[in-house]
């Protein structure tokens, strides 16, 4: 599996106050959509990921419904959060 530079950068350090658009798969447009619904920080999206019990199918469907993400964007975000959790939780 190859990962983007954005993915590598995100998982290389603690999340802190990173904006939602720092997540792999989340660009400016999706970031604005998520922010407008209260998901302005990466840790807020992480919270939803954890509420959904790290379930790939549920998280991808949630991101598609919530931000109109496509499958690749949602999968990239899921994989980014999964790898971050493996390193930091």
Model pLDDT for residues 19-76, shown as the tens digit of each residue: 999 999 999 999 999 999 999 999 999 999 999 999 999 999 999 999 999 999 999 9
Q: Catalogue all structural domains in the chain, each as residue range(s) with its CATH number.
A: 5-88 (1.10.150.40)
Residue 3 has pLDDT above 80, yes or no: no
Q: Is 41 helix (H, G, I), strand (E, B) or coil?
A: strand
Question: What mean pLDDT is predicted for residues 2-28?
Answer: 93
Q: Is 50 helix (H, G, I), strand (E, B) or coil?
A: helix
Structure tokens at 73: 């964007």
Asked if residues 80 and 23 have their Cβ atoms less than 8 Å apart, the reply is: yes
Q: Quick one: which H or E segment has residue 5?
A: helix 5-11
Q: Which residue has 């604005």 as its token pair?
A: 32
- pTM summary value: 0.94
């Amino acid at each position: 599996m190859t990962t983007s530079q954005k993915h590598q950068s995100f998982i290389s350090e603690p999340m802190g106050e990173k904006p939602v658009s720092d997540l792999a798969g989340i660009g400016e447009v999706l970031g604005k959509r998520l922010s407008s619904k209260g998901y302005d920080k990466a840790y807020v999206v992480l919270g939803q990921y954890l509420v959904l019990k790290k379930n790939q199918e549920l998280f991808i469907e949630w991101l598609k419904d919530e931000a109109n993400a496509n499958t690749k964007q949602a999968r990239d975000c899921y994989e980014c959060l999964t790898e971050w959790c493996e390193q930091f939780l």
